[in-house]
Structure 1
Amino acid sequence: MKRFIELSLMALIIIATSVWGALAVYFGDSDSGIIWNFLSAGFGVFSLVTLISLGFPHWRKRCLYGYGVVFSLILIWWLSISPSNDRQWQPDVAKLAYATFDGDKVTVHNIRNFDYRSEFTYVPAYYTKTFDLNELEGVDLFSVYWMGPAIAHTILSFNFGDGGHLAVSIEARKELSEGYSTIKGFFRQYELIYIVADERDVIRLRTNYRNDPPEQVYLYRLQGPPQNAKRLFLGYLDKINSLNEKPEFYNTLVDNCTTAIWLRSRINPEHLRFSWKILLSGYLPEYLYESNRLDTRVPFKELQRQSLINEWAQRGDQEADFSRRIRTTILKPN
C-alpha cells in the first residue's frame, strides 16, 4: 500500500510538472514557433515515457533521473527569461506613463487620451498634467464584466475634485499582432503595464466601443480617509516609475489587474485581508461592500444596479464632462 501511494504521488508530480513544462516550452521566449512546438512535443513524449516507467522497476530510476534533469533545465531556462521595455508594442501600450514630483505637486506624463471611432480605430493622444496631492478627495473603483459574474477587470480612478479624475488600468502589455491569452499570462509572455489614462479613454473604450463581447461597467465610490487615498496614489506612482526603469512580467494569477491593486493597497494600515474574492475579481465589489469599503446604506444588489454606467457613458460619449455624467447615479454622501 505504501509503495502504491508513493508511485501515485510520483505520477501526480510528473503529470503536473510535465503539463507546466510543455506549456512553458510551447510558448517559448515571448514567441512560439516550429522549434518551440517540436521541443514541447518532445518533452511531452518523454514525460509520458517517464510516467509509464513507474510500472517497470528496472527503468524507473533511470527515467526519473533523466526527467528530473530535463525539467530542471527547462525551469532554469524559464527563470532566465527577462522582461523588456524594448519590444514592438501595440499602439495603445506603446508609451509608459511616469511621474515627477515638486513638493505636494505631482506631474504625470503620458496620460493616455485616445479618440476612438471603434475598438481598434483611434487617434492616439497623450497629455501631461500636474495634480495637487492636497486636492485628492478619494478613489473610485470600476469593475468591467464580459464573461459572467466571476471575472472582471478592475480599474482605479483617483478623484482630484475640480482637478479631474485620473484612471489607472493594470494590464498585460502586448506586442504587435499579439492577442491576450489567460494561459499565456502564466508563462512570462506579457510585460506588466500601468496604463494611466483619462476616463474618456480607458472607461469610454469599454462602455461605448467594445462590442465583441460587450462589456458592462460598474462604478463604485470607495470609502476611506483621504490619507489612505494619498498613500495609495503615491504607491501607484512609485510602481509606475519603477516599471520604466525595471520592467516586470504580468501574471494571470499573482500580478494582474486586481491582485496588484490589493498589493498596492497594503501600504495602508486598514488594508483588506486577502480573500478568494480578490482572485475571482468579479466578486471584489461584494467583498468591499462586506468590508464596509462601499456605501452600505442600500443592499448590495441595489448598489450594484445603481452603479452600472453604460447608459450614461453612451449618452455622454462626446461630452467634455464625461466623468461627471457617468457619476449621475452614484449615491451622494451623507
Structure 2
Amino acid sequence: MLRAILIAAVAGWGALALWFQLPWPWPLRALAITAWCALGLLAIVRPARAGRRVPGVVFAVAFVVLLGWWSTLAPSHQRDWADDVARLLEAEVDGSRVTLHNVRNFEWHSETDYTPRWETRSYDLDRLQSADLILSYWMGPQIAHTLVSFGFDDGEQLVFSLEIRKERHERFSAIGGFFRKFEQVMIAADERDIVRTRSNVRGEDVYLYRLRMAPEQLRTLLLGYIDSSADLRRAPQFYNTLTSNCTTIIFRLARHIAPTLPLDYRLLLSGYFARYVHDQGGLVPGHDYAELQALGHINQRAIASDAAADDPLAFSRAIRRGVPGISEDDQTHGE
C-alpha cells in the first residue's frame, strides 16, 4: 500500500510538471502525460515479484530522466512580459535619499484597458512615518494578496508588492505556482494603481491595517524591500505558491526586525495573515481583530474617491478614513 501511494504521488507530481512545463501544444502534452500516468499505473498493479519488475524499473528510470529535465528549468528575465510587470524596479540609495526607477503608476479603466505609466520618484527616508498592511481577497477567505504601503509626511504613499511575473499570454494559476510556471517580480507602485485596480476595477475585497512600527523599523522594512528587488534584478527567481510569495517575503523581512517571530499556518493561508500580525502585536493596540477588520474594509470609500480623480492623493486619504491608528492629522497631510 505504501509503495502504491508513493508511486501515485510521484506520478501525480510528474503529470503536473509535464502539463505546466512542456512547451508543446496541449494534445501532445496530454499524450505525454497519458503515457507517463499509464507507466505509473503499471508500476502499481504489477507487483515487484520475480519476472514482473520491468514496469517498476522503467518507471523509476523515467522518473530520474524527469528529474534531470526538471533541474534544467531556469528562471529568466528575457521573456515577452505582460505590460504591468514588464519592468524591473531599480533603486539608488544615498543616505536618507532613495530614488526609484520604474515605479508603476498605471491608470486602470478595466483589467484589459489601461494607460501604462512608469515613473522615477525620489523619497526622503527621514520623512517616512507609517506603514500599512493591505490584504486583497480574490479567491475566498483563505487566500489574499498581501501588500505593504509606506506613508510619508507629505501624504504620499509607496506600495511594495511581490507578484508573479506573467508572460503576455499567461494567466495566474495557484497550482502552476508550485511548478516553476512563473518568475517573481517586485513592484513598487502608486496606491491609485496597485490598490485601486483591486478594489475598484477587479472588485476584490480589500482591507487596510495600520502597522505598529517604530521609525527605525519602518526604514529597515522599506530598505528590505529595496534589497529584495535588487536581488531579483541580479538573479531571477521562480515564484512559489507555498514558499516564495507575497506573504512569505513580508514574514522574512519582518524577521530581520523581530527574529523570534514564530512560524504559523497563517503564513500559508494568507487570508488570515492580518490576524497573525494582530496576534503578534503588530497592528495598532486597543482594538480587537474583528473591529480592525470591519473598519479596515476600504471598498466603499475607494469607489467613492473616484469622484475626486483629479486629486492624486484623494484615494489614499479616502481609504484610510476611520481606520484605527490613523489620526485626522494624518488625513490632512498633502492637502
TM-score, length-scaled by structure 2: 0.91
Q: 2:92 aligns with which of 100, 111, 123?
A: 100
Q: Which residue of 2 aligns with 1:159?
A: 151
User: How far off its partner does 1:161 sit?
Assistant: 2.2
SS of alignment partner, residue 271 of structure 2 = helix
**Structure 2 residue identity aligned to 1:223:** R
1:19 to 1:204, Cα distance in 2 relative to 1, 3 A: same
Q: 1:138 aligns with which of 126, 130, 134?
A: 130
SS of alignment partner, residue 57 of structure 1 = coil
State how far apart, in whole Å, the 2-side matches of 1:81 and 1:45 are: 25
User: Where does 1:103-252 land on structure 2 (aligned, <5 Å)?
Assistant: 103-162=95-154, 164-210=156-202, 214-252=203-241
**Structure 2 residue identity aligned to 1:313:** A
Any idea what the Cα deviations from partners look like across 1:241-277, whole Å, max 9, x if unmatched?
1212211111111111111221222221355211001
State how far apart, in whole Å, the 1-side matches of 2:304 and 2:125 are: 31
SS of alignment partner, residue 171 of structure 2 = coil
State how far apart, in whole Å, the 1-side matches of 2:183 and 2:304 are: 35
State how far apart, in whole Å, the 2-side matches of 1:30 and 1:254 are: 25
Q: Is the 2:75–2:236 contact (alpha carbons within 8 Å) kept by the matching residues of 1?
A: yes
Q: Is the 1:111–1:196 contact (alpha carbons within 8 Å) kept by the matching residues of 2?
A: yes
**Structure 2 residue identity aligned to 1:126:** W
RMSD (Å), alpha carbons:
1.7
State how far apart, in whole Å, the 2-side matches of 1:31 and 1:185 are: 19
State how far apart, in whole Å, the 2-side matches of 1:281 and 1:60 are: 47
Q: Which residue of 2 aligns with 1:327?
A: 320
Q: 2:14 aligns with which of 21, 25, 32?
A: 21
State how far apart, in whole Å, the 2-side matches of 1:251 and 1:316 are: 35
State how far apart, in whole Å, the 2-side matches of 1:59 and 1:14 are: 20
User: How far off its partner does 1:226 sit?
Assistant: 1.8
Unaligned stretches of 5+ residues in structure 2: 328-335
State how far apart, in whole Å, the 2-side matches of 1:109 and 1:102 are: 14
Q: Which residue of 1 aligns with 2:331?
A: none
Unaligned stretches of 5+ residues in structure 1: 1-7
Q: Is the 1:29–1:189 contact (alpha carbons within 8 Å) kept by the matching residues of 2?
A: no
State how far apart, in whole Å, the 2-side matches of 1:127 and 1:30 are: 35
Task: Indicate yes or no: 2:34 matched with 1:41.
Answer: yes
Q: Is the 2:183–2:236 contact (alpha carbons within 8 Å) kept by the matching residues of 1?
A: yes
Q: Is the 1:30–1:190 contact (alpha carbons within 8 Å) kept by the matching residues of 2?
A: no
Percent of aligned pairs with the same amino acid: 40
